[in-house]
Amino acid sequence: MRVTATTEAAASTAADTIVVGLVEGEGVPHDVEDGALQALVDAGEAKARPRALAVTHAAGKRWILVGLGSREKLDAEGIRLAAGVAHGRAKELGAKTLCWELPHKAKEHDPARAVVEGTLMAAYAFTAFKSKGDDASGGIEELVISDHHDHADAVARAVVVTEAVNAARDLQNTPANAMTPTALGERAQAVAAAHPETLSVEVVGREEIVARGMGAFAAVAQGTDEEPALITLRYEPAGGAVADSVPVLGFVGKGVTFDSGGISIKPGGGMADMKYDMTGGAAVVEALGAIAALGLPVRVIGVVGATENLLGPRAMKPGDVFTSAAGLTVQVDNTDAEGRLVLADCLHHAREQGAERLIDVATLTGAIMSALGRVYSGFWADDEAWAADVAGAAAEAGELIWRMPLHERYAELVKGSTADVANLSPPRTGASSTAAEFLHRFTGGVPWAHLDICGTAWDSGRAYAPKGGTGVMVRTLVALAERVSRDSD
C-alpha cells in the first residue's frame, strides 16, 4: 500500500473514500456543503462511541465516520484501533484510495503515525501458503494522510516501522518446516544486504556454536537434525555519526523456530502454534532493519539464537548438566524450559560483542499469561535508568509492558543441586520471575532488561492484529534506539 501525506483538504484529494473521526460532543470538524455528515450524526446513525462506524455518500465520495470516544480518553492506541476498523470497512466497500482526515487537536498523540500503523497492520494478510485460487488481491492501494500541518516525516517513519512489524509477522506465521533456523538466518542476511553500508551480519552453525563454548545453546539444538544458527547483526551508522555518550545497545532475541518441549513434551493442544516461539528473534531482526532504514545515530548489536527444540536420540534429558559460554554450569530439570538456555549464551555473546545495554525479547514462560493475559508483556530490569528508557520507549511505541520483580528470593530458587543454576524452579513458585532471575545470572553486570512476550506475541484480538503473529516489540525496540540516541545528545 502506498502511503502519502498532504496538507490538501481531504475532500479535495483524489481519494474515493474519506475517513473522519468523531469525538464526543464535538460534531463533524469539516462537513460537506449539504451537511450530509452531521446529518448522519444527528440521525443517530454515526456515533462517537469508540470504533462505531457509519457510511454515507456525498460530494462524489464515500465517507466513513468512525467513533473516537471522549477527548479526555483519546490516545494513540484509540486512533490505531479506529484506523484498523475503518480499514476493514473501507476494504469491504471496495475502496482503492483511502484518505484519513486527522483528528483535530490530537497532536500529542502523533495521530498520523497512529493512523498509518493501525491501517497497515490491519491490511496485513499472510497468504504465502494459500493456493492461487484464494485470491487476496483487490485491497486498498493507497492511504493518504490529510491535515493542515505537514506530517510527511512522521508518515515516512511510521511506514518503515510498520512494514518491519508486518515482516516480523510473516516470520512468525511461516510454518516451522519452512521457517527453520537456517531460513531465519537467511532473512537476517537479506535484511543486512538491503543496508550494506551500515548493517552487517554473521550466521554460524552447530560446529561454531560448540566451538564458542555455548554449551547451553548447543544442548537445546542436540535434539534436531536442523542446523541451528547463531545470528549476529551489527548496525553502525554511516560515517560513525554517534555521540560518545550513546551506549552500544544489545538486542537479544529467542529464536526457537519450533518448540515441542523436547523430552518434557508439551500437550498436543496448541502445539501447532509453537512455530511462533521465535517471535523475539523475529523482532530483533526486523527492528535492526528498521533502525538501519531510519539511519538512527546509535550502535546496535542484535543477537538471535535460532534452533528447534525436539525429541530424538541425541536430545538433552532432564538431569543433564551443561557448561554455558559464561562458564556457569546449568542443570536441565525440564527440557521445555529451553529458551532461557539459548538466551543465556546469547546474552553472554552480546556482551562479548561490546553491548553496553542489554534487552532480551522472548516468548519465555506460559506463566506470564496467567499473570498478565494477552494485554501486557512482562518486564524486568536491574538498572533504574535503563528501566526508564525501556518503559518510555514502550509507551512511545504504544506497546504495554508491566514491571515485574527481581529479588534474591527468586534468585535462590534457580540455584542448582548438581550445577551452578537450574533451568526450572520448583513448580508454582513465580515461574516468570525465576526465569528472569536465571537470565540475570548471565548479564555480567551490564544494565539489562527482559521482556516476556508469551502472551502478547500471538492472537492479540486487536482490530489491527486479531489473529496470528502480532510483530510485538519491533516498535518498542526501534523507539528504544531512537530514545537512547536522542537522550544522549
Catalytic residues: 266, 340
Contact 298, 350 (CB under 8 A): no
Distance, in Å, from the CA atom of 243 to the CA atom of 297, rounded to the nearest integer, reads 8
Q: Name the one residue in this structure whose C-alpha cell is 535462590.
A: 412
Q: Name the one residue in this structure whose C-alpha cell is 493501525.
A: 118
Distance, in Å, from the CA atom of 257 to the CA atom of 308, rounded to the nearest integer, reads 5
Residue 332 contacts by C-beta under 8 Å, 6 or more apart in sequence? 219, 316, 317, 318, 319, 320, 321, 322, 341, 423
Q: Is 174 left (phi over 0), alpha (psi -120 to 50) or beta?
A: beta
DSSP class of 475: H
What grid cell was written down for 54?
457509519
Distance, in Å, from the CA atom of 470 to the CA atom of 169, rounded to the nearest integer, reads 6
Contact 347, 438 (CB under 8 A): no
Buried b / exposed e along 252-270 (16+ C-beta atoms within 10 A): bbbbbbbbbbbbbeeeeee
Q: Which helix (H) or strand (E) holds 158?
A: helix 152-173
Query: Is the four-CA dihedral 460, 464, 470, 476 of positive or negative sign?
Result: negative
Pairing of strands 229-235, 300-309: antiparallel
DSSP class of 433: H
Q: Report the amino acid identity of residue 163.
A: E
Contact 223, 314 (CB under 8 A): yes
Distance, in Å, from the CA atom of 262 to the CA atom of 257, rounded to the nearest integer, reads 13
Q: Which helix (H) or strand (E) holds 101?
A: strand 97-101
Distance, in Å, from the CA atom of 65 to the CA atom of 124, rounded to the nearest integer, reads 22
Distance, in Å, from the CA atom of 455 to the CA atom of 133, rounded to the nearest integer, reads 34
